[in-house]
Amino acid sequence: MVLFFPHFSHVKLVYVIMLFMNIVIINPPDKNTIVEFPDEKGDSFLEADDYGYFPPLGALYVLSYLEKNTTGHNLHFIDCVAEQVDHDALIERLKIIQPDVLGMTSFTISLVDIKMVAENVKANFPNCHICLGGHHAISYPNEAAAMPNIDSIVVGEGEKAFTDLVNCLEKKESIEHILGVYTKESIKRAEEPKKDNRFLNSVIVNPAYVDDVDTIPIPNRKFIKHIKYSSILGVSSNLATIISSRGCPYLCTFCNVPYKKYRARSPKLIADEIEECLKLGYDEFHFYDDLFNITPKRLIEICEEFERRELKITWDFRGRVNSLTKEALAIAKKNGCRLISFGVETGSDEGLKVLKKGCNVEKIQNAFRWCRELGIISVADYMIGLPHERSEADIIKNIQFLVDLDPDYAQFNIMTLYPHTEAYDQAVAKGLIEGGRWQKFAMNPTKDFKVDHWEEYVPMKRLVELHKYAYRKFYFRPRYIFRSAVKTKSPFEFMSKFRGALKILRT
């Protein structure tokens, strides 16, 4: 829509042109996501939606920043995953919106769907500007920018970059000067950034970045309030996810989080956001930081703000065992912390050292014992198929450690060799995997792409069998089943456990 506003300046009549646009940001469908640890049929017995649905907060932050810093545009948000919108249904939704600009978040394993969305959008709305952001754009910027039907990409944190992009499109100005925004042509001229400890070394073009995260507006959840988000480990279908910080300075060998500098939001703003969520009817809060509890002091400061506001809430977080004290956990429990998910990964000091976890078995055992004593539900995130596991016996011993640790829940994975990680580089150097396969996939994504794993000692087929064994071994213990039944507090929690048990039984 174009509006003309007359502006009188002395004797000249000037018309200011305002171009109002229909802008939509989407989380694309996940109908063709690459299976990370398939069985012999190519299937995974646990899919992403088995763990619940979580809002794509990064994309919501981008749209909320745009809303705060522009006027007149019609803004829309579609979460195709949580709303179970397939490719055909997405186009029907977009026909109602008639988008001028479409922003799309991305992961590399979702590229088949991303390519399909871009093709379908251009076929139906040829003048729509498609901008790709998210994790894939920062991992593979050259390949992302070269994708057919993609007009621009945002590398890095997209709040300001995407808003600047929209402003330039509105004024029909060049977008090539915007930090973090690249096109097929401009990325060819992009300078390689100097070494910057704020990022992984794999960041190969200058990215957009937010130094002061307190300057970013709280996400406007009116865009997603109609969607029921929940966690399989939660107690409600009114779950809100919150980010209290950005970045993680740790150097775990298997992790490719691109932002290494830790930037914390103020406890006051975190509490402000929770109060806004309460007004909208949310009653459970999941902190989705890469690293929530960087120090015990940080955890205590957030809890003290909750206590000062008299916030009576149920919340949980993902944390590390080496930055906890029992005192901090006790304060968290007092202020509503229900559950903590710890990245345990493996059960030996040797393995923890190989993975560069920065902790030891004693710290793991202390953290879980303290949670048990304080009545905080504990979750252990765990992996098998690790470089130090030299036989099936090693893997079974590793699984037994977690059974003996006896957390309230366990989530098992087979370690995936993601590019831009130390473990991936080690596997390439050993000749275990072929380097460059992800780049080829990024240029031509197909559904039959196979994700790499560490198969030096145990083949993938057997790792998948041991993955299923780990779940059965942990969850089908009579004592565990009885304890879990006694601790069930709500119909939602009961149904989550029931569906999870059925899933494991059917494998």
Q: What is the CATH number of the domain that holds 67?
A: 3.40.50.280
Same domain, 310 and 237: yes
Across the range 457-482, mean pLDDT stands at 94
Radius of gyration of the chain (CA): 24
Q: What is the mean pLDDT of the chain?
A: 91
390/455 Cα distance (integer angstroms): 10
Q: At which of 189, 214, 238 does a domain end? A: 189
Residue 8, pLDDT score: 42
Q: Which of 16-30, 50-64, 165-179, 483-497 has the lowest mean pLDDT?
A: 483-497
Return the beta strands (E) in 369-467 as ranges.
Answer: 377-384, 409-414
Same domain, 366 and 500: yes
Token readout for 357 is 């976890």
Same domain, 285 and 334: yes
217/273 Cα distance (integer angstroms): 10
**C-alpha torsion angle, residues 245, 249, 251, 256 (rounded to 10):** 40
Token readout for 493 is 């929690």
pLDDT at 505 over 60: no
Q: Which residue in this structure is represented by tokens 């509490």? A: 271
502/498 Cα distance (integer angstroms): 6
Domain count, the chain: 2
| Host H or E run for residue 301 | helix 296-309
Q: What is the pLDDT of residues 403-412, one digit of tens each?
A: 999 999 999 9
Same domain, 249 and 354: yes
pLDDT at 9 over 70: no
Q: At which of 189, 210, 239 does a domain end? A: 189
Same domain, 282 and 377: yes
Task: Considering only residues 272 and 4, tell me which one the structure prediction assigns the higher pLDDT.
Answer: 272
Q: Which residue in this structure is represented by tokens 């590229």? A: 111
pLDDT at 16 over 70: no
Q: At which of 163, 189, 215 does a domain end? A: 189
Same domain, 168 and 317: no
Same domain, 150 and 44: yes
Can you give the CATH number for the domain in which 339 is found? 3.80.30.20
Task: Considering only residues 99 and 503, tell me which one the structure prediction assigns the higher pLDDT.
Answer: 99
Look up the pTM and report it: 0.91
Please list the residues that pair with 173 across neighbouring strands. Answer: none
| Residue 453 DSSP label | B
The SS3 of residue 337 is: strand
Residue 11, pLDDT score: 44
Q: Domain for residue 149, yes or no?
A: yes
Q: Domain for residue 377, yes or no?
A: yes
pLDDT at 13 over 70: no
Same domain, 245 and 168: no
Same domain, 237 and 313: yes
Burial class (CB in 10 A: 0-12, 13-18, 19+), 143: buried
Same domain, 30 and 105: yes
Same domain, 343 and 409: yes
Q: What is the pLDDT of residues 332-389, one digit of tens each?
A: 999 999 999 999 999 999 999 999 999 999 999 999 999 999 999 999 999 999 999 9
Q: Which residue range forms the structural domain that includes residue 334? A: 228-416+457-505
Q: Domain for residue 281, yes or no?
A: yes
Same domain, 132 and 30: yes
Q: Domain for residue 448, yes or no?
A: no
